[in-house]
A and B are shown apart, each in its own frame.
Chain A
Amino acid sequence: MTTLTALLLILLILMIIVGGKTGFKSYLSVVINACLLILVALLISWGVNIVLVGVIFIPLKLLTIIYLGTHDYTVAKNAFLTALCVSLIVMFIIILFENLAQTQGFGDQAGEELIGLSLNVGISFSQIAILVAIFSMLGAIAEASVAMSAGLLELKRHDPNITQKQLIRSGNEVGADVLGTAMNTILFGLFGSFLPIFIWYVRLNYSLFEILNDKLFVDEFLIIVYSFIGVLLTVPLTIIFLAHTLTNKENKK
């Protein structure tokens, strides 16, 4: 058995033990999500228009992450709407900054890995860079909006008579914690992901000026920025959405 298969199996068993049916659905969402990413790579390599791939796969990925990952329909619906809104807003910021920074393609450091590969492959790596940036932050946004919605709805379940004002205040409290830690997830996830390149900079004595202008660093830095902005926008949007829908329901009763 390869390590990969063993880990896949262990994860499946653990998720069913801890999460039951929801756990199994979450497992599926992770697998599907990974497969979708591979499908994206395949489609683009076959020459399918990158913008079209983005338009189809961004909502699709949010749907799989949020709907398959949560068993509460209300949580899922609120989280999905918030996440989609936020993604649209951040997408404009991404397009703007990717245009300014021109960090498409591969850095000088990739030289060794590119040996033997044909590089003039006729696909726009600027568009791919934008897509990668959007995908990198989708997870963080989906997670933050689910955590926010779930936390608020749990409060509501235990105290059905909670007022809108109380809910907003509790929402801000939950939001404060969610924000602080969601930022840590992004920060450490990327620390881990880019550890080798940071070691490279220090080992080869890059100056601050060189690092700040280096394609890979700027690319990495911007991805952190997009994810932060996305997560930041999620908190107030969830509170507004939820406070609104929960009070509306009461009025109907």
Chain B
Amino acid sequence: MKKNTKIWLSLLVLVVGIIFTILTYFSTSFANKSVAVITDSQIKDVLVDKTKDNYENKDEVRQQTLHLKIISGRYQGKKFTVTNTYSLSQAVSQKYRPHQRVIVSFIKGKPKLVEPKRDWVVVLSMFLTISLIILITGKQASLLLISMILNSIIFYFVIKSDIRENGTRIFLIYSIATILFTFVSLVIVQGFNQKMLVTLCATLLGVFVSFSIFYLVMKLTHERGIDYEAVDYATQDPRALFLAQTILGVLGAVMDEATDIVSSLYALAKHKSDLTFKELFISGRTLGQEIMGPLINVLVLIFMAEALPMTILYLRDNNTLVYTFKYTLSLGVIQSLSSAIGIVLTVIFATLCSAVFLRNKKQRW
């Protein structure tokens, strides 16, 4: 794709995105709950109480008086006045803004604020990303997008089957899912060729071997110190949920690393025709050493940063660090560790699998 085409296409996507964002912002046709608009230009906002809890945490509770005009649903066109109480810290409460669009639910004809309308932000951020993907990757953009969409569809069906089995047969469901995810992601980005098969092989070895080690360790230590009560939002057996989360978490990182190592070694083998196995092995290991630390940190950050708000809340409420760690962070840390084991093992698997590229050469001669 030429540079200019890339820029124009990405601009086009951005413009289309902005149009869609505006449409989503004003649209109420998909709403199954009532949408209202705050008509105030200046919201009346008074201090109700300066609070101080048992732990000497000071906060302010304030009350907003909002005038709502309902723009969809049964009460369309009607006007209401509601009050909204929020605290300055906004841990669970919400401060509303002038002219904001909000979602309301009705209880016995009285409106109750649910939350701000956020769907347009999702649309805007999505199109911004797509436009950037096109700008930076050009031709490859469509492949990346197709891969993401397909993976999301697979993910949806994985969830569906998880629910159908009600959290049992976790190993079967998520093993099949892993193979599908890996195959689809790799085939789309790399095409069906030898390089892709080598990467596929290394990835699957990495995921399954490391997960087996993790499971073995769990069994040997009698799962001591794992508190399944701390699994968030569990609507089914939390242990199964935790295992499933761990498999999925390992997969992305291992695939990432296997691809990095295999494609670098492939490029190397193509570039340098007299490459020996020893050289290839050292190169693979060097690459792996460089990549594995940062890659493990990606997962540590993904698994731990997410728990940060809850951790801060626990600590702020005068819980000890040990207690807080147990209920907010320990599961994330265990997941990061098992992924880390996968990442380290993959260095070896990816390098060994890449030895196939050396044989190519000899055959060609």
Contacts and interface: CB of A to CB of B under 8 A. Distances in A.
Contact of B271 (A5, A114, A159): A159
Contacts of A15: 292, 344
Given A11-B340, A118-B317, A139 B294 contact: yes
B317 A120 contact: no
A86 interface: no
Q: Is the interface of B mostly helix, strand, loop or mixed?
A: helix
Contacts of B305: 37, 132, 135-136
Chain A interface size range: 35 or more
Contact of B91 (A2, A29, A106, A203): A106
B129 A193 contact: no
Contact of B288 (A11, A19, A120): A19
A18 B335 CA distance: 21
Interface residues of B, number: 140
Among B155, B287, B297, the one with the most A-chain Cβ atoms within 10 Å of its Cβ is B297
A189 B300 contact: no
Given A65-B294, A118-B53, A209-B33, A37 B308 contact: yes
Interface string A16-38: 00111011011101100110011
B264 A120 contact: no
B195 to A, nearest CB: 10
Given A179-B137, A202-B160, A187 B88 contact: no
Contact of A119 (B91, B117, B118, B335): B91
A222 to B, nearest CB: 6
A140 B236 CA distance: 31
A207 interface: yes
Given A26-B296, A45-B315, A139-B297, A188 B251 contact: yes
Given A7-B334, A181-B259, A196 B118 contact: no
The majority secondary structure among interface residues of chain A is helix
B40 interface: no
Contacts of B103: 213
A123 to B, nearest CB: 5
B92 interface: yes
Most buried by A among B57, B118, B133, B288: B118
A139 B255 contact: no
Given A38-B325, A103-B118, A184-B185, A196 B235 contact: yes
A102 interface: yes
Given A14-B341, A131-B308, A174-B267, A221 B125 contact: yes
A150 B291 contact: yes
A242 interface: no
Given A6-B217, A121-B53, A122-B59, A195 B241 contact: yes
A222 B162 CA distance: 25
Given A132-B306, A181-B189, A101 B118 contact: yes
A6 to B, nearest CB: 5
Interface in B121-139: 121-122, 124-126, 128-129, 132-133, 136-137
B333 A34 contact: yes
Contacts of A72: 290
Contacts of A37: 300-301, 304-305, 308
Contacts of A210: 32-33
Interface in B183-197: 185, 189-190
B292 A159 contact: no
A59 interface: no
Contact of B132 (A38, A136, A151, A229): A229
Contact of A102 (B116, B245, B306): B116
23 contacts: A14-B341, A18-B289, A23-B344, A33-B300, A69-B294, A71-B290, A100-B124, A120-B89, A128-B309, A138-B301, A139-B294, A142-B294, A180-B147, A180-B259, A181-B256, A192-B247, A193-B249, A196-B245, A199-B159, A202-B156, A209-B32, A213-B118, A229-B128
Interface of A: 1-8, 10-11, 14-15, 18-20, 22-23, 25-27, 29-30, 33-34, 37-38, 40-42, 44-45, 65-66, 68-72, 75, 97, 100-106, 109-110, 113-114, 117-126, 128-129, 131-132, 135-136, 138-140, 142-143, 146-147, 150-151, 154-155, 158-159, 170, 173-174, 176-193, 195-200, 202-204, 207-210, 212-215, 218, 221-222, 225, 228-229, 232-233, 235-236
Given A101-B118, A196-B235, 17 more contacts: A4-B225, A11-B337, A19-B288, A19-B289, A97-B125, A125-B89, A125-B90, A131-B308, A139-B298, A143-B297, A180-B189, A184-B252, A186-B302, A189-B253, A202-B163, A218-B121, A235-B136
